[in-house]
Structure 1
Amino acid sequence: MSTYDPAALECLAAIVEEGGFERAAQRLNVTQSAVSQRLRALEAQVGSVLIVRSRPLRPTSAGQLLLKHTKQLRLLRADLERDLQELAPSAPGSGREDERISIAINADSIATWALDAVHDLVRQRLPLEIIADDQDFTQEWLRSGQVLGCVTTLKQAMRGCRMVPLGAMHYVAVASSSFAQKHLPNGLTAHNFREVPFLSFNRKDDMAAEFVARTFGLKRVALNHLFVPSTEGQLHAVKAGWAVGVLPELLVRPALAAGDIVDVSPGHTLPIQLYWHCWNLESEVLEALTQALIEASARDLDQGNSGR
């Protein structure tokens, strides 16, 4: 089996992660010409094109395999760094960009429970990169080899990965008191939901439509959307009276208790089951991440139907 130049592998990863040759060169502190040369040498060794020169740039199937291999090498180095830190606690961590450990987590988990889960690991100098995406799409980052684990709604374990149920996040429909009094005096119903706008993260986000469909037993729902690409930003917009937000109960609990917002569909919640998927590898770092997420989810998520 061929031995691949680690510098060339990190060059490939930098091109994909930074979205171009120029920014990859800046990150690696080399010239753009050097980046191109390293990539060409790696492609010649593999015998295949590794990057599709499109907008945005994307790895080919062969490129995805090498990208996953590069991430695995990073994980091995992170394990070594962790072991060395235990032997010499006063020694500084590497802090290198190419040691970054990447995971994908849905934005709502980031806004509520997930950051607390990894807090101690970050304090222990784990060079973590969290990529935010919709919970129905985070697994694509893992599938393509760009992250080593993800929090997702996908229940079935992917090939080469293991899956751990985390529990359910409950979503509620909320609005400001003034908005509710003006537009929904009798609460959200099957007859008035089309008359009010709903907040969504982006065009991939179907949380509000799923909440309405399940609450009122409808098959297909068309809503009037306002797009705010931030969970905390959506809560701010709800308080400001922009629209109805279907948000995690964990996030809105303090605002509901304070009377800043109201539940416009009392008694109705949308439970979303979450799962942690990660590469099925022997790794202390990966095991520590997995255990941290399991422990935090046990505290903050509903375990009633989690499968654990």
Structure 2
Amino acid sequence: MKDLDSADLDCLAALADERSFERAAQRLAVTQSAVSQRLRNLEAQLGQLLVVRSRPLRLTEPGKLLLRYARQMQALRTDLARELGARTTRNERIAIAVNADSLATWVPPALDPLVQAGLNEGFGLELVVDDQDFTHEWLRQGEVLGCVSTVRQALRGCSVQPLGVMRYVAVASPAFLREHLPQGLNAANFTTAPFLVFNRKDDSQVQWVSKAFGVRAPRLQERYVPSSEAYVRAVLMGWGVGVAPELQLRPLIGSGELVVLRPELSIDVTLFWHQWKLEADSGAAGGTLLDQIGKALAAGARAALG
């Protein structure tokens, strides 16, 4: 396979991000015909279809494999620019996938020093949010270069390191307990008590009830609130019982605004950091930018999660 043109690879990455030729052209500041031509160049060179021309468009399996390479090349260019003391272009970015609860708690403080330092260097950071059991798929498909995940096993070509354990507890507001659960949450009433759920991928409530009452696959009354911050607000307002990170709830529990149900019981979620191994060596102190992101997340997780 001949050397692939970096502009063509950037075009594939833009198509993967924007999911349309028009938006990809706007992002790259070129015409749609130029985007089409660059994609045709790649497909002709590889002899394979890389993009399904649907609405929204999607990458084929060969396209996903090439996307991994394109992301890595973008990251290496960003590292080279940093070493040379040059600002990167606005299209250069490092994308990582994190779960919403980590984003609402320990991830921003962990990354803040690195992001603040990067303001003068011009590199971009994109945080993709998904459930911790699904962020690994973003990495596998080449959409991101690193992820916070519950998956233990590293993909081929990736490294993995443990971050720590997020402890989830069940809570409710005092007013909700007085009005709806005066006898407390128990095996006789958990099926009629409303539980707040983040989204349809979230099964922490089911796990907690199963562990608390020894019930397999319990059926719950569910109210969906797909935002970590809004989820906690909804619990405070008495919308139902919530199962959320103790780290996030700690101040509210301490102030008495929320009450922990069954304090001895928790759902413990072990998190891991995965990242692609970039082939080229970086002479910059601390390794590549992706390495530095991984180190910052590991240090932040140790401080917050123990």
Fold shared, TM-score > 0.5 on shorter chain: yes
Unaligned runs of 5+ in 2: 282-286
Matched, 1:233 2:226: no
Say which SS state the counterpart of residue 155 (structure 1) adopts: coil
Q: Which residue of 100, 107, 130 maps to 1:107?
A: 100
Measured in 1, the distance between the counterparts of 2:6 and 2:58 equals 20
Matched, 1:292 2:289: no
| 1:9 aligned residue | 9
Return the offset for 1:37.
2.1
Matched, 1:116 2:109: yes
Percent identity of equivalent pairs: 52
Q: Deviations over 1:166-185 (max 9, x none)?
A: 11000011112111111122
Cα contact 1:184–1:264 (8 A) shared by 2: no
Measured in 2, the distance between the counterparts of 1:43 and 1:171 equals 47
Return the offset for 1:29.
1.6
Say which SS state the counterpart of residue 191 (structure 2) adopts: helix
1:200–1:95 distance in 2 versus 1, CA, 3 Å: farther
Q: Deviations over 1:74-112 (max 9, x none)?
A: 111121122123xxxxx6x32412x11000000000001
| 1:127 aligned residue | 124
Runs of at least 4 residues off by over 4 Å: none
Return the offset for 1:121.
1.0
TM score, norm. by length of structure 1: 0.91
Matched, 1:266 2:242: no
The code of the aligned residue for 2:273 comes to: W
Q: Deviations over 1:144-179 (max 9, x none)?
A: 011111000001112111110111000011112111
Unaligned runs of 5+ in 1: 86-90, 303-308
Cα contact 2:168–2:243 (8 A) shared by 1: yes
Return the offset for 1:21.
1.4
Q: Deviations over 1:49-97 (max 9, x none)?
A: 1012334422111101111111111111121122123xxxxx6x32412
TM score, norm. by length of structure 2: 0.92
Aligned residues: 295
| 1:215 aligned residue | 212
The code of the aligned residue for 1:120 comes to: P
Measured in 2, the distance between the counterparts of 1:19 and 1:142 equals 18
Of the structure 1 ranges 68-77 and 178-187, higher mean CA displacement relative to structure 2 is found in 178-187
Map 1:153-164 to 2 at 5 A. 153-164=150-161
| 2:284 aligned residue | none
The code of the aligned residue for 2:222 comes to: H
Root-mean-square deviation (Å):
1.5
Of the structure 1 ranges 204-213 and 130-139, higher mean CA displacement relative to structure 2 is found in 204-213
Say which SS state the counterpart of residue 147 (structure 2) adopts: strand
The code of the aligned residue for 1:194 comes to: T
Measured in 2, the distance between the counterparts of 1:160 and 1:7 equals 24
Say which SS state the counterpart of residue 194 (structure 1) adopts: coil
Measured in 2, the distance between the counterparts of 1:5 and 1:83 equals 22
Measured in 1, the distance between the counterparts of 2:230 and 2:11 equals 35
Matched, 1:197 2:194: yes
| 2:88 aligned residue | 94
Measured in 2, the distance between the counterparts of 1:119 and 1:221 equals 40
Of the structure 1 ranges 29-38 and 176-185, higher mean CA displacement relative to structure 2 is found in 29-38
Of the structure 1 ranges 127-136 and 223-232, higher mean CA displacement relative to structure 2 is found in 223-232
Q: Which residue of 146, 149, 154 maps to 1:149?
A: 146
Return the offset for 1:298.
0.9
Cα contact 2:94–2:290 (8 A) shared by 1: no
Measured in 2, the distance between the counterparts of 1:187 and 1:53 equals 55
Cα contact 1:180–1:264 (8 A) shared by 2: no
| 1:88 aligned residue | none
